[in-house]
Structure 1
Amino acid sequence: MTRFIVVPQWQGSPSTRSMTLIDGADAIAGDLPRSATVRVDVPVEAGEALGSGIRRFSSLQRTRDLVDAALIETDGATADTSATTPGGHSVVVGGDCGVAVPAIAHSAARHPDLAVVWFDAHADLHTPESSPSGAFSGMALRAVFEAGPLSPDAGVPVDRVVLAGAREFDEPEIEAVRTSGLTHLGVEDLADPARLADAVAATGAGSLYVHVDLDVLDPAAITGVSAAVPFGLDVPTLTNAIGVLRGRFPLVGASVSGFAPPHPEAVVDDMGSVLRVVGALA
């Protein structure tokens, strides 16, 4: 059975309406099976940087530890059985995309052959030194493959990371893509879902983690994101790509983030799209 861990973390976002991520996570949680859902109690306070170069670092650090503990408890503190049990993995529901970092580290520790597909409109490849905002969500993918203040156990080699659908990059992120060795597939590349699956296969991975920041979708498909970027994916293209990936690789973990409805009507308008994505991951 798929397990859901709801993490209404907002402290990693640079948005002026970052706290609407709490509303988004809670709205998704309302449509999940209660018996299979755990809600992490994210710290209320914003938190301090503590010399890390990351805004709200102390609260983010506390949430990271809570997510890891929830995943261990949900696994039964033993081996993840998702490679042999369809639907036997956990889906972490954010909040901002920083919630994926401890979840990926958790999966990587149990599956040394893990590859990560990161669907996002933004590259999320900053470091504390290069980030113009200091917001961790803009560093989250970098933290998946490079050790840092919030990722001491970054366990996925960069050559097993695929960034999918990104179309907004800052200069340091362009340089990171050029020099790091990660694979980037743009929106046009995802029209053929086999191309994404082939890119994962080329990494030699034997298991897969998929993260979806909902802003990878086109603004016509979803309104409740805090940093919409034009010319994104439609829902069928995204869910089809996930389906093809799952047909070729064992999915051992997943996450979805970035639902920030600006008002209650947006929840109603967007929930169909959101739940189709969650369903594809679950």
Structure 2
Amino acid sequence: MKRKHVSIIGVPMDLGQMRRGVDMGPSAIRYGGLQERLTNLGWTVQDHGDILVDMRENAESSTAGNLKNLSSVVTASELLAQKTDETIADDSFPLVLGGDHSIALGTLAGVAKKQKNLGVIWYDAHGDLNTADTSPSGNIHGMPLAASLGFGDPALTNIGGFSPKIKPENVVIIGARDLDDGERKLIKETGIKVFTMHEIDRLGMTTVMKETIEYLRERTEYVHLSLDLDGLDPTEAPGVGTPVAGGLSYRESHLAMEMLEESGIITSAEFVEVNPILDEKNKTGAAAVALIASLLGEKLL
């Protein structure tokens, strides 16, 4: 994380799931004072605005089989992949704001295009490892990690023109506590490293982050952080579409971000699933801003 230029890219996506409001997530995070916070940390900040995303009413016809709003999600993902790739080419740190977690399809396609041997930290209550065949809902926000690994419908796996974007052995999932049967099977088959809430409770966040950093540092050259705010407990982040009780605390999450900043391994990041309609006075948007600030160098002293 040696760059001191950060490029903010908003993705007002609400098509990867069925609850309205998450398309306002980028605005809620910006409203929480993100740019000022990062500027005060010494970063040169350029906000590129939002990627164009179809309105839900215009996307309904794009549903294909068990994949809801497929063509509209793919179109937006291709635009995001291109913008993320351009950001890296400009030697700027890509900071992507969601939107639902389907946006990771585009982010990872853009990041992985030039950054080979990419590592990924998936900070989330869910695995997002479903495919059209295993998904109970058909919601694409539950599929981006699987698709980025090369599993699933070709329309999703080939975003950016190549597949896979990442290798299973280069992925670490942190905070998982709600996995579908198909996701459990894929984890076991591929050997993806997962720290569920059980492991975090037993080991503590310090040990989990140390092991994660050492694991990825040995295997990868670049590391992308994909942080879903539902990784936090709903009491800490109520404004998310798929809350799961028993999650990570606000302080544990800050510690994780602080340790990642100290390690210097993070080369890109996205923060997703902030839904201001479900939030309490932008509590979740403010939490996202605070975690981003910790990731990018803010310290208590």
* Same-fold call, TM cutoff 0.5: yes
Letter in 1 for 2:128: D
- Equivalent residue number for residue 233 of structure 1: 248
Gaps of 5+ in 2: 37-44, 297-301
Whole-Å separation in 1 of the counterparts to 2:222 and 2:87: 19
* 1:202 counterpart = 2:212: no
- The answer to whether the 8 A contact 2:239-2:274 is kept is yes
* 1:33 counterpart = 2:48: no
- Give the Å deviation of 1:242: 2.3
Whole-Å separation in 2 of the counterparts to 1:29 and 1:159: 34
Whole-Å separation in 2 of the counterparts to 1:280 and 1:146: 32
- Give the Å deviation of 1:116: 0.2
Letter in 1 for 2:188: R
- The answer to whether the 8 A contact 1:207-1:251 is kept is yes
Closer, same or farther: CA 50–135 of 1 in aligned 2, 3 Å: closer
Whole-Å separation in 2 of the counterparts to 1:269 and 1:139: 27
Residue 268 of structure 1, aligned match among 282, 287, 293: 282
Whole-Å separation in 1 of the counterparts to 2:112 and 2:182: 26
1:73-88 equivalences under 5 Å are 73-75=86-88, 78=89, 81=91, 88=92
- Give the Å deviation of 1:249: 4.0
Between Structure 1 and Structure 2, the one with more helix by share is: 2
- Give the Å deviation of 1:28: 1.2
- The answer to whether the 8 A contact 1:47-1:58 is kept is no
- The answer to whether the 8 A contact 1:52-1:149 is kept is no
Closer, same or farther: CA 230–58 of 1 in aligned 2, 3 Å: same
- Equivalent residue number for residue 54 of structure 2: 43
- The answer to whether the 8 A contact 2:28-2:282 is kept is no
1:69-218 equivalences under 5 Å are 69-75=82-88, 78=89, 81=91, 88-147=92-151, 148-152=154-158, 153=162, 154-190=164-200, 191-203=204-216, 204-218=219-233
- Give the Å deviation of 1:200: 4.3
In the superposition, the TM-score normalised over structure 1's length comes to 0.87
Whole-Å separation in 2 of the counterparts to 1:111 and 1:161: 15
% of aligned pairs identical?
25
Whole-Å separation in 2 of the counterparts to 1:101 and 1:194: 29
- Give the Å deviation of 1:270: 3.2
In the superposition, the TM-score normalised over structure 2's length comes to 0.82
Whole-Å separation in 2 of the counterparts to 1:126 and 1:97: 13
- Equivalent residue number for residue 277 of structure 1: 291
- Give the Å deviation of 1:197: 3.6
Whole-Å separation in 2 of the counterparts to 1:197 and 1:48: 46
CA RMSD of aligned residues (A): 2.1
SS of 2:176's equivalent in the other structure is coil
